[in-house]
Amino acid sequence: MIDISLTVNGERVSACVLPRTHLVDFLREELCLTGAHLGCEHGVCGACTVRLDGEIVRGCLVLAVQADGSVVETVEGLSDSGEIADLQQAFIDRNALQCGFCTPGMLIASQDLLKAGGVPSREEIREHLSGNYCRCTGYHAIVDAVEATAKAREAAR
């Protein structure tokens, strides 16, 4: 067992973990932050996407011990801070989620693109989100929601 200390959604967390524990399992099972989902557990589907020191990572490809000393943000944290409130509302307005299982990862990946500023083209949005699988929507509505958010943010700039 290894001691780790990290900041999760603004709270300092100290824990003792098995070296093999994945970050996403640590978040879900130890911290009960179940917004990051397990879709494939081999780094393909993007359902476990979280932010680690500002960069998006797959929680199933990062070990909890690798997050020692880091800042981790999950969909719960981004929701509580209000950082993605407009994007979440755009997803709701556009019905850009059906079962919702991919949605936390999809939102975090979308925000990663939107943070760069400007209004990305639909092709750029599609490309950026190609590491996040959605089996329900067919992606069109997701692209619409991200595009609408980009335009609204640009207009408010």
Partner 1 sequence: MSTLSPVDLPNSYIGRSVARPGLARLTQGRGEYVSDLALPRMLQVVFLRSPYAHAEIVAIDTSDALKMPGVVRIVTGRELAEHCTPWVGVLTHLKGLKSAPQHALAVDHVQWQGEPVVAILARSRAEAEDASDRVYVEYREIDPVVEMFSAAEPGATPIHADLGDNIAFERRLDAGDVDAAAAASDHVISQRFVFGRHTGVTLEARSIVADWNRAEQRLTVHLGNQAPHMIQNIVAKHLALEEQQVRVLTHDVGGSFGIKVHIYPDEMAVCALARMLGRPVKFFADRLESFVSDIHARDHVLDGRIGVKNDGTITFFEIDDITGIGPFSVYPRTSAVEANQVVNLTGGNYAVPNYRARTRVVFQNKTPTCQYRAVGHPIACSVTEGLVDLAARAIGMDVVEIRRRNLVPDDAYPCSGPSGIRFEALSHQASLEKLLQMMDLPALHADQEEARRRGVHRGIGFASFIEITNPGPAFYGVGGAKISSQDGATVKLDASGAVTVQSSISEQGQGSAAIIAQVTATALGVPLARVRVILGDTDNTPYGGGTWASRGAGIGGEAAFQAGRALRDNILKLAGTILQADPTSLDIRAGSVVDEVDGRERLPLSELARIAYFRPDTLPADFQSELMATRHFVPREYGFAFTNGIQASYLEVDTETGFIRLLKHWVVEDCGQPINPQLVDEQVRGGVVQGLGAALFEQCRYDDQGQMINANMADYLVPMAGEMPDIEVGHIITPTKESAIGAKGAGEAGTAGAAACVANAVNDALAPFGVVITEIPLTPEVVLNALRHV
Contact footprint for partner 1 (CB under 8 A): 18, 20, 28-29, 33-42, 44-45, 47, 74-76, 79, 88, 91-93, 95, 97-104, 107, 122-123, 125-127, 129-143
Shortest reach from residue 92's CB to partner 1, in Å: 5
Shortest reach from residue 130's CB to partner 1, in Å: 4
Q: Which residue, 2 or 99, is less far from partner 1 as judged by CB?
A: 99
Shortest reach from residue 14's CB to partner 1, in Å: 21
DSSP string, 31-71: S--TTS--S-SSSSS-TTEEEETTEEEETTTSBGGGGTT-E
Q: Which residue, 6 or 102, is less far from partner 1 as judged by CB?
A: 102
Q: Which residue, 115 or 122, is less far from partner 1 as judged by CB?
A: 122
Strand, helix or coil for residue 116: coil
Number of alpha carbons in the 13 Å side-chain half-sphere of residue 50: 33
Strand, helix or coil for residue 94: coil
| Spatial separation of the C-alpha atoms in residues 142 and 136, rounded to whole Å | 11
